[in-house]
Amino acid sequence: VSGRNFASDNWAPVHPRVMEALERANVSDAHAYGYDPYTERLRERVQDLFGGAAEPFPVFNGTGANVLCLDVLTRPYDGVICTDVAHIAVDECGAPEKIAGCKLFTIPNEEGKLRAARVRSEPRLLENVGNEHRAQPTVLSLTQATELGTVYTEQELAELRSLALEHGLAVHVDGARFANALAAHGMSPAASVEAAGARALSFGGTKNGLMFGELAIFFDEEGAARARYLRKQNLQLASKMRYISAQFLAVFEDDLWLEMAKHANDMAALLAARLSDQEPIYIPYPVETNAVFATMPHDVIADLRASWDFYVWDQASGTVRLMTSFATMPAQIDAFARDVARRVRQRRIT
C-alpha cells in the first residue's frame, strides 16, 4: 500500500507529533471519562479557536460525531436536509436513521454542495412544516469540505444560514475535513462556524493525522446538556479519554492541524495539475481541498488499479476519486502521474 495510496486520507498513519503526545500522556493514572487534565485543556483550546460558547465532546469516529450532533438536534419526527452525496446519507449504513432516529431529506448536490435555492424549490419539503403526516424539516446538514472536495464560500454559507433562520432550521456542519476547508479558504474556525450559523459541528481528527478521535462541538448550552447523555448512550464515551484529547492538543499546537491540511490540499493541487493536461482525462470538479476526481477511460482505470489504491466513484462515467493526506509525498504524485501518462500514451498508439 505504502506510497501507492490515493484511496483515502484515513489510510495514512499517525503524525509523529501525535504519537509523541500519546507517549507523553502515558505516564500515570488519570480520571476516566473526560475528567482528566488533557480534556480540560482541550476544552479551553477549542474555546480559543471557536469562541467561548463552544463545548467539545471527544468521540471515537466521524459517524459517531455526526450521529451525536443529529441526535442532539432532533426529535423522532424531525428530518435532516442534506445532499444526496452526504456521508450521513450514503456512507453510514443508516446510522442516522437508526440511532439519531431522524429522517433524511436528500437534495441533489451542486458540485457536492447543498444550495439554498435547491432546498427552497424542492417539492414536499419546506411545505411540510406543520403537516403532521410528514417528518418536520429541522436540521440543515452541510459538509465542509464537501464529499467532492469543494468548499462552501462565505456567500454560500450566508445563503444557507438565511434559509435556516427563515425556516427555523438548526445548522449542522459535518467537518470530517473541516481543516482542509479552512486551509483552503483561509477563514478562522470561529468565523467559518459563524458564517454557517452552526449549532453543531463534527470536527474531524482521524483523517488529519490522528490515530482515532473526533470532536462533536456544540455552540449552545442546551445542545451540550443533551450531548453528555447521548454521547454515552451512543457508545461514544471513551473511558481513557485523555488519549483522544492529547492527540487534539498535539495538532492544535503551532497550528499543526492546518499545516497538515494545507499539505494535503497542496498535494491534491499538484496531482490535479499533473493530470489536467493529459487528454482524455478530465477533472470534473474544482480541486479545492485534498480530493481530486478524475474521469478516465475504463481501461486506464483498470490498469491503474493493478498498482494503485483508489476508489472508483462512478462506474458509469469512469470517474475515480484520488485522496491525498498529510503524509502524501510529491514523489508519489510524480510516480502516479507518470503511470497515467504512460497508459494514456499507450492508448493513443493502440
Enumerate residues 14-33 that contact a second copy by CB under 8 A. Answer: 14, 19, 22-23, 26-33
* Rounded Cα distance, 107 and 93, in Å: 18
CB of 187 to a second copy, least distance (A): 27
Closer residue to a second copy, CB minimum distance, 194 or 309: 309
Q: Taking CB under 8 A as the rule, does residue 5 contact a second copy?
A: yes
Q: What cell does 307 get?
A: 498498482
Residue of 150, 192, 236, 290 that binds a second copy (CB under 8 A): 236
* Rounded Cα distance, 11 and 334, in Å: 19
Longest dimension (CA), the chain: 67
Residue of 44, 127, 221, 254 that binds a second copy (CB under 8 A): 127
Closer residue to a second copy, CB minimum distance, 240 or 338: 240
Closer residue to a second copy, CB minimum distance, 97 or 194: 97
* Rounded Cα distance, 226 and 206, in Å: 24
Q: Are 292 and 327 in contact (CB under 8 A)?
A: no
Find, among 143, 262, 236, the residue nearest to 192 by Cα: 143
- DSSP letters of 276-301? HTSTT-B--S---SSEEEEE--HHHH
Interacting residues with a second copy between 206 and 235 (CB under 8 A)? 206-207, 211-212, 226, 228-235
Burial of 279 (0-12, 13-18, 19+ CB in 10 A): exposed
Interface characters, 170-209, with a second copy (x: CB under 8 A): ------------------------------------xx--
Closer residue to a second copy, CB minimum distance, 61 or 276: 61
Find, among 179, 167, 236, the residue nearest to 203 by Cα: 179
Cite the DSSP H helix spans in 78-216.
Answer: 87-90, 95, 116-121, 154-167, 178-185, 189-196
Interacting residues with a second copy between 42 and 71 (CB under 8 A)? 60-64, 67, 71
Interface characters, 70-89, with a second copy (x: CB under 8 A): -x---xxx-x----------
Interacting residues with a second copy between 97 and 116 (CB under 8 A)? 97-99, 101-103
* Rounded Cα distance, 337 and 275, in Å: 7
Interface characters, 134-153, with a second copy (x: CB under 8 A): xxx-----------------
Residue carrying C-alpha cell 475535513 = 177
Contacts of 128 (CB under 8 A, 6+ apart): 79, 134, 135, 136, 137
Residue of 132, 155, 306, 348 that binds a second copy (CB under 8 A): 132
Residue of 306, 316, 331, 349 that binds a second copy (CB under 8 A): 316
CB of 37 to a second copy, least distance (A): 9
